[in-house]
């Protein structure tokens, strides 16, 4: 069964890929693509570059909240 992405999910996925492009992380390194856990594992140097370019650092609690919202969004689709 194929689940259609909402516009918000499409925008988020595009933003993740765009950010990876900007810091020089190859798109082929995306993990858990198409799931609520979609992400890149990146080196500390790439993380520092991302923050320098405007990324906002979050803690574990912030990450858990984001994952919950993404999972709920996918389950409700």
DSSP secondary structure string for all residues of 18-45:
HHHHHHT--GGG-BSTTSTT-B----HH
Does residue 1 sit within a domain?
A: no
Asked whether 5 and 77 are in contact (CB, 8 A), the reply is yes
Total number of domains constituting the chain: 1
State the pLDDT confidence band at 2, using cuts at 50, 70 and 90: very low
- For residues 24 and 12, what is the distance between their CA atoms, to the nearest angstrom? 18
The larger pLDDT score, comparing residue 39 to residue 5, is at 39
pLDDT of 12-43, one tens digit each? 888 889 999 999 999 999 999 888 788 899 99
Give the domain extent around 46.
7-76
Report pTM.
0.71
Does residue 2 sit within a domain?
A: no
Residue with tokens 């992405």: 5
Which of 54-58, 59-63, 65-69, 73-77 is predicted least confidently?
Answer: 73-77
Does residue 49 sit within a domain?
A: yes
| The two structure tokens encoding residue 33 | 């693509």
């Amino acid at each position: 069964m194929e689940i259609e992405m909402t516009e918000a999910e499409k925008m988020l996925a595009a933003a993740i890929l765009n950010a990876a492009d900007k810091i020089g992380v190859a798109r082929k390194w995306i993990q858990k693509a198409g799931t609520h856990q979609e992400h890149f594992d990146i080196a500390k140097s790439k993380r520092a570059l991302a923050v320098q370019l405007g990324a906002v650092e979050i803690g574990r609690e912030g990450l858990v909240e984001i994952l919950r919202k993404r999972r709920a969004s996918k389950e409700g689709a």
